Amino acid sequence: MLKGKVAVVTGSTSGIGLGIARALGRAGADLVLNGFGDAATIEALRSSLESECGVRVAYHGADLATAGGVESLIRHAEATLGGVDVLVNNAGIQYVAPIEEFPVERWDAVLAINLSAVFHGTRCALPGMKARGWGRIVNIASAHGLVASAQKSAYVAAKHGVVGLTKVTALETAGTGVTCNAICPGWVLTPLVQKQVDALAAAKGLDDAAARAELLGAKQPSGQFVTPEQLGALAVFLCSDAAAQMTGAALPMDGAWTAQ
Ligand code: NAD
């Protein structure tokens, strides 16, 4: 379905980004991976995706905390694979603290990676998409793009910002063949969330299974984690012709978290 298209997935060395990259690769897209990690592990991942999916897979380790980093990622994709047809803005970080104790440099980092990088990626990729008359931008927001939780001021502000930016991007691209949507996952058991499970286990003297159950029980009525594979399937659908008129949406996949 996506044969001949090039997909850039930010933060795809781990978790949700990796699940989405794999799903897009299986659908036939050439891939540009991005994110941090051990060089040998990333190279093994790159070549295993290449043979598993039968597509070209490149990697660029840009730090998306700066405008220049995001720009270099998009330019690398254009130079090595010929353009960016699908941009999945996924890279993100979390920091948990009450507002009055929130370290200013953590606020700046969360806003830079979770929100500004989405703007810069979109800004850099749009001219090529518009010129080709086809493009898909998928922004990984969060249930926290729709509702709040205490102690996550920067994350919630950034993710609400991503939902707003998604709507503006959809309006500015309407009728051009480019769509832009946000996916709003609930809890997904990735390294980002395991850190929060570990903090809860330490704070309450729980074992890992009990901490996971408590984390889910507090927010996600299904009591089950969303998986990267499920999110990957939704991203592939958003890239399909069936979704050509779906744009500007913020789509929860959250076990009824935001239905409450
Ligand atoms: P993760 O920690 O497993 O992966 C994050 C990825 O982003 C990694 O590849 C990491 O290397 C990369 N990254 C981090 N900082 C970067 C930077 N400065 N430059 C480039 N890459 C960087 O996290 P995840 O849970 O897979 O989260 C992915 C996205 O999904 C994030 O935007 C997160 O906010 C969102 N999300 C996660 C959940 C969840 O429950 N896990 C829920 C809702 C939304």
Q: CA 172 → CA 74, 97, 168, 176, distances in Å?
A: 20, 36, 6, 9
* C-alpha 18 – ligand 1 centre gap (Å): 10
Positive or negative torsion for Cα 119, 37, 24, 95: negative
CA of 16 to the centre of ligand 1 (A): 7
Q: Is the CB of 193 under 6 A from ligand 1?
A: yes
State if residue 192 touches ligand 1 by the CB under 6 angstroms criterion: yes
Distance 66 CA to ligand 1 centre (A): 16
Instruction: Report pLDDT digits (tens) over 226-236.
Output: 999 999 999 99
- Cite the active site residues: 155
Q: Which atom of ligand 1 is nearest to the CA of 109?
A: 18
The verdict on the CB of residue 107 being under 6 Å from ligand 1 is: no
Residue 258's pLDDT is 98
Q: For ligand 1, pick from 9, 12, 13, 16 the residue to mutate: most ligand atoms within 8 Å of CB.
A: 16
> Distance between CA 93 and CA 228 in Å, rounded?
16
Q: What is the full DSSP assignment across 193-222?
A: HHHHHHHHHHHHT--HHHHHHHHHHHH-TT
Q: Edge to edge, what strands does the sheet with 6-9 contain?
A: 57-60, 30-34, 6-9, 86-89, 135-140, 178-185, 250-253
Give the residue-averaged pLDDT of 2-25: 98
Q: Give DSSP secondary structure letters for 73-132.
A: HHHHHHHHHS--SEEEE-------B-GGG--HHHHHHHHIIIIIHHHHHHHHHHHHHHHH
Residue 118 has what pLDDT? 99
- Please, which pLDDT band fits residue 211 given cuts at 50, 70 and 90? very high
Confidence bin at 99 (pLDDT 50/70/90): very high
C-beta of 251 in contact with ligand 1 (< 6 A): no
Are the beta carbons of 42 and 13 closer than 8 angstroms?
yes
Average pLDDT over residues 46-52: 98
Alpha carbon 117 to its chain centroid, in Å, reads 11
CB 185 less than 6 A from any atom of ligand 1:
yes
Task: Write the DSSP assignment of 128-145 as a string of letters.
Answer: HHHHHT-EEEEEE--GGG
CB 8, CB 73: distance < 8 Å: yes
- To the nearest whole percent, how much of the chain has pLDDT over 90? 100
Mean pLDDT of the chain: 98
Best residue among 70, 93, 139, 226 to mutate for probing ligand 1, ranked by most atoms within 8 Å of CB: 93
CB distance 117 to 64 below 8 Å: yes
Q: Which of 18, 190, 227, 231 to mutate to test the pocket of ligand 1 (most atoms within 8 A of CB)?
A: 190
Among the atoms of ligand 1, which is closest to the Cα of residue 187?
40
Report the alpha-carbon distance of residue 143 to residue 219 in Å, rounded.
Answer: 10
Read off the pLDDT of residues 116-148 as tens digits, 9 standing for 90 and up. Answer: 999 999 999 999 999 999 999 999 999 999 999
User: What's the predicted TM-score (pTM) here?
Assistant: 0.98
**What is the pLDDT confidence band of residue 115, given thresholds at 50, 70 and 90?**
very high
Average pLDDT over residues 14-41: 98
Residue nearest to atom 39 of ligand 1 (CA): 188
- Residue 201 confidence (pLDDT): 97
Rounded to whole angstroms, the Cα distance separating 183 from 222 reads 18
Tokens matching residue 106? 């953590």
Q: Which residues contact 16 (CB under 8 A, 6 or more apart)?
A: 90, 140, 185, 188, 190, 228, 231
Q: What is the end-to-end Cα distance of the chain in Å, rounded?
A: 36
Q: How confident is the model at residue 47 (pLDDT cuts 50, 70, 90)?
A: very high
